[in-house]
Structure 1
Amino acid sequence: MKNYFECKENGQIMVEALIAITIATVGLLGIFTLVSRSLSLNRVVADQYIASNLAAEGVELVKNLIDYNVRNGLPFNNGSCLSEGNHNIDYTDLIGSSCAYDNNRFLRFDGLTRFYGYDAGADTPYKRTIIISWPQPDEIMAQSVVAWTTRGGGEFEVKLEDHFFNWR
């Protein structure tokens, strides 16, 4: 009598197992690649968020200097920090007494106060340049540029611009 249930193909289970393991490995590698890429993009977005706020702070510093001049009866564009050119303005300098420009000056993060500035704290990758120009005699154009280099060597930049008028 013939046995129809006898398996004559040896190793079929081994081949099926290898194919299943290969498919599972390719699937897991795809997932790990996606997670890795997502985490690296998360760092770029966090850096851009910080740089955007630092650039906005630069424009606000110019506004504060103009407000100081107006409150004290001075010309609205008075002071060396509001002269045409490039400046490094710090939030601790409320009257704009020292804003000399240095292209290699990085912002620092003070862990105690949780503020960015030029005097205390750990170095950061961010450099802020405030560019002042006077398109008209009664107008100040302030451009705040924050540039940084990422760990992978990518160079990024955020630019914000505002115009202030002598309307008072």
Structure 2
Amino acid sequence: SQLEPLRYYGNLADCIRLVPEIENLYLVPSAGPQRQAAAILESSEMRRLFEDVRGRFDLVILDSPILNRYNDALLLEPYTDGLLLVTRPGFTEEGLLNEATQQFMESEDVQFLGAVVNDANIPIQFPETFNVEDSLVLDQEHVQEHADILEKMPIGH
């Protein structure tokens, strides 16, 4: 029934879970597939949950079902700082991806951040003068230089 997920999401303390293997990572698992997902996502309980989560954590990532079957991502978008498409070669239909990307880029209502391509087999070519060892040294220096900043950026509280 619709009431159960609304109760579930109504209190952050009841639905948030600490991931024991990863420091400062918390999850709010889904209540499972719902017949009236739109009503739940647009509910005052869900709005309060997002307000509470955004107040407690530095970074909040929402994962929603695929766009070509569900509009959950578009219903969740007002609670976000932007939308990031995740795609995978061989699984995502190119036409649907192109259409969604074009719509998001042209939309004034959606802050489209870009796309992530999982399992992409893209060879990386370095210039002949590129020295991997020098690159690693620079990366280590960069990390040391900014370590104090990184330490001050907890993912959660």
Structure 1 or 2: larger helix share? 2
Structure 1 or 2: larger strand share? 1
Greater length-normalized contact order (CA 8 Å, ≥ 6 residues apart): 2
Task: Using structure 1 for the length normalisation, give the TM-score.
Answer: 0.18
Task: Using structure 2 for the length normalisation, give the TM-score.
Answer: 0.19
